[in-house]
Amino acid sequence: MMNRRNMFSRALAGASAWFAASAAQAGTTPTCKVVYHLVDFEKVDAVLGNIRHHYEGVGVEQATIALVVHGPALRAFASGGSAATRERLASLLRDGLAPIACANTLRGMAMELKDLPPGFALAEKGGVVRIVELQQQGYFYVRP
């Protein structure tokens, strides 16, 4: 039994190395796709920091990151929000972050997409629906 495990582990390691070498030969880089889920207003800075660390950890060119925001957290990005939050968001947008606002939350807060910084897309069917759609496209789900 132990011998089978070792053989399986070696085969898996060999296959992983082959795929990595094939990607490098083809001139492509593996991409991780992640969707961050942000609801809590008090977690906005922490989540933006997590995303920054994510980009730094894997490299901007290897990460496709979406940020779905709904509930109270959406207010942090609205007009009149913190300049520091807007600056952090702008920096992440330059790195490729795709922020997405929940249409249901916007309606509930009597806000519009234009009340948010440029770069936000609208989740017309709702934030949680968009999260599931992204997961179906192979995105990993993170809710700090």
Of residues 56 and 80, more confidence is placed in 56
Mean pLDDT of the chain: 84
Do 69 and 130 fall within a single domain?
yes
Q: Residues 50-78: what's their mean pLDDT?
A: 95
Alpha carbons 34 and 1: distance in angstroms, whole number: 37
Which range (17-21, 78-82, 139-143) has the least confidence?
17-21
Structural domain boundaries, residue 16 = 1-29
38 - beta bridge partners?
A: 69
Indicate the residue type of 115: D
Question: What is the pTM assigned to this prediction?
Answer: 0.79
The domain tally of the chain equals 2
Do 14 and 43 fall within a single domain?
no
For residue 77, the domain's CATH number is 3.40.1260.10
